[in-house]
Amino acid sequence: MSTASWALAGGVPVLAAFVLVLTATALRRRLVAVTVRGASMEPAYRDGDRVLVRRGRLPAPGQVVVVTDLPDTGPTADPATAPVRAAPVRATAARAVPGPALVIKRVAAVPGDPVPRDRVAALAGVPERYVPRGQLVLLGDNPSASFDSRHRGYFPAACVVGTVWRSLPG
């Protein structure tokens, strides 16, 4: 076998491994596995369900998103109705690594949509007719167990981690 053949035979596996590492790194940056905690999204997602969240996509009404949980400093803050949390998990070879507290909710309205005053009591008195730029209206599917826009008003769009892409096998 010639030197060029040996170089090609040795280079192909190295190149394949390099491409595999790059692909895995890119996917890790775009996707994150999240374990749902709480009942705020029942029946769609139950406590313990795992979902795969796609980062970097703008949400649309009806989509389910994961947002970072911000402390509520508004006048409607009520510790008795604390946010239902989801614990993010990034898969590693050895263990799961917990991250910041996250909340999973369904998008009810995005910037430019009419403010849903009839469904969201906390927004009944806002002066604007349309959801402002940089804000979202997020609701849990289970209103009795969800701390969402009905209680705290708008959520900052900048806090969106990503949209739920699919459920993961449990």
State the first-to-last Cα distance of the chain, in angstroms, to the nearest integer: 50
Question: What is the set of domains in the chain, with CATH numbers?
Answer: 32-168 (2.10.109.10)
Instruction: With cut-offs at 50, 70 and 90, classify the pLDDT of residue 69.
Output: confident
pLDDT attached to residue 109: 98
Distances (CA, A) of 67 to 64, 72, 136: 10, 14, 11
Other beta carbons less than 10 A from residue 127's beta carbon: 5
If one compares 40 and 8, the residue with the highest pLDDT of the two is 40
Full-prediction pTM beyond 0.75? no
Distance (Å, rounded) from C-alpha 64 to C-alpha 45? 10
Cis peptide before 43 (omega within 30 of 0): yes
* Core vs surface per residue 87-100: b (16+ CB within 10 A) or e: ebbeeeeeeeeeee
| Tens digits of residue pLDDT in 25-47 | 444 468 999 999 999 999 999 99
* pLDDT of 133 strictly over 60: yes
